[in-house]
Amino acid sequence: MSDSIRTAIVTGAARGIGATIAKRFAADGMQVAVLDLDEGACQTVVDEIAAAGGKALAVGCDVSDEAAVAAAVERIASELGAPTTLVNNAGIIRDNLLFKMGVEDWDAVMNVHLRGAFLMSKATQKYMTEAKFGRIVNLSSTSALGNRGQANYSAAKAGMQGFTKTLAFELGKFGVTANAIAPGFIETDMTAATAERVGMDFDAFKQAAAQQIPVQRVGQPEDIAATASFFAREEAGFVSGQVVYVAGGPRD
Ligand code: NAI
């Protein structure tokens, strides 16, 4: 792989952690498909990558839609190159206590995180196994350990860990690694929305969170991008099936 430019796909990359991973991968020398629900919303990230001298493609796709995923991955392969690096980052939260959680909130979260990661991984593994090289990075969460109000999300994020380990077993012989990152509190629109839901000012919310974190600060998208960058490296080829908690401490 070393003499060809790698193509990476980052899902949910129009903003937040995904956008930062996409920019980090471009800085690492990969060309990047910036994939999110709305193609137009991906353009800013694509422009930023191009302005820094990189190459990126905006791709509109709902990761839970099988036909859309197949079309998006084919388009990326023909317009950028065979994708051999994938970050399953797209995610949503639909928090509520169990007794108030609607089945639609359960299904929505399962569909984006688990069905989405399954469909994207299935569609791209073909290119990875053909290339005898691949890197899959899945976004889990400290919520995988359980979190009040997140029966759906914590189940999905724990599921991402089992999914990751199984991909590591199945795809290892093709030179493909699969690893998961379990972030703690990262400052993004997602955590801002959580602050709003619990009726707290975001700065106060972050400060309260930081006090509970051993390194005494909340995380930034760059903290996650640095870990994804490591897993994506060629030299990380003997690291597979791992879950790294990037949470300023052992867990949340
Ligand atoms: P965010 O809400 O800022 O960004 C998520 C992106 O995913 C959005 O651009 C959204 O449009 C996209 N997306 C949602 N549904 C999609 C679908 N069906 N198809 C394609 N794209 C879709 O979230 P953030 O904070 O950047 O989180 C990224 C990932 O990291 C998520 O998987 C999240 O669960 C995980 N995570 C975040 C933490 C945090 O503290 N922010 C902590 C632990 C995990």
Q: Whole-angstrom Cα distance, residue 176 to residue 139?
A: 17
Q: What is the pLDDT of residues 171-188, one digit of tens each?
A: 999 999 999 999 999 999
Nearest Cα residue to atom 23 of ligand 1: 190
The tokens for 208 are 């309260």
Nearest Cα residue to atom 17 of ligand 1: 62
d(CA 2, ligand 1 centre) in Å: 30
pLDDT at 121: 99
Task: Give the pairing type, strands 176-183 and 243-246.
Answer: parallel
234 by Cβ neighbours in 10 Å (0-12 / 13-18 / 19+) ranks as: exposed
Mutate to test the pocket of ligand 1, among 17, 59, 112, 141 (most ligand atoms within 8 A of CB): 17
What Rg value do the Cα atoms of the chain yield, rounded?
Answer: 17
Q: pLDDT tens digits, the chain, 252 residues: what are they?
A: 545 799 999 999 999 999 999 999 999 999 999 999 999 999 999 999 999 999 999 999 999 999 999 999 999 999 999 999 999 999 999 999 999 999 999 999 999 999 999 999 999 999 999 999 999 999 999 999 999 999 999 999 999 999 999 999 999 999 999 999 999 999 999 999 999 989 999 999 999 999 999 999 999 999 999 999 999 999 999 999 999 999 999 985
Mutate to test the pocket of ligand 1, among 86, 140, 181, 190 (most ligand atoms within 8 A of CB): 190
pLDDT at 4: 77
Q: What is the pLDDT of residues 40-60, one digit of tens each?
A: 999 999 999 999 999 999 999
Catalytic site includes residue 153: yes
Name beta bridge partners: 181: 139, 244
d(CA 173, ligand 1 centre) in Å: 30
CA neighbours within 13 Å on the CB side: how many for 182? 25
Task: Give the pairing type, strands 56-60 and 176-183.
Answer: unpaired
Residues with CB under 6 A from ligand 1: 11-12, 14-18, 36-37, 62-64, 89-92, 112, 116, 139, 141, 183, 185-186, 188-191
Q: What is the pLDDT of residues 27-42, one digit of tens each?
A: 999 999 999 999 999 9
Q: Whole-angstrom Cα distance, residue 196 to residue 114?
A: 26
d(CA 166, ligand 1 centre) in Å: 23
Domains and CATH numbers, the chain: 7-184+219-246 (3.40.50.720)
Scored b (16 or more CB within 10 A) or e, 210-228 reads eeebeeebbbebebbbebb
Asked if 190 contacts 93 with a C-beta cutoff of 8 angstroms, the reply is yes
What is the CB neighbour count within 10 angstroms for residue 173? Answer: 9
Mutate to test the pocket of ligand 1, among 61, 76, 89, 150 (most ligand atoms within 8 A of CB): 89
Q: Whole-angstrom Cα distance, residue 191 to residue 43?
A: 23
The tokens for 30 are 């990969």
Q: Which atom of ligand 1 is nearest to the CA of 193?
A: 2
d(CA 190, ligand 1 centre) in Å: 7
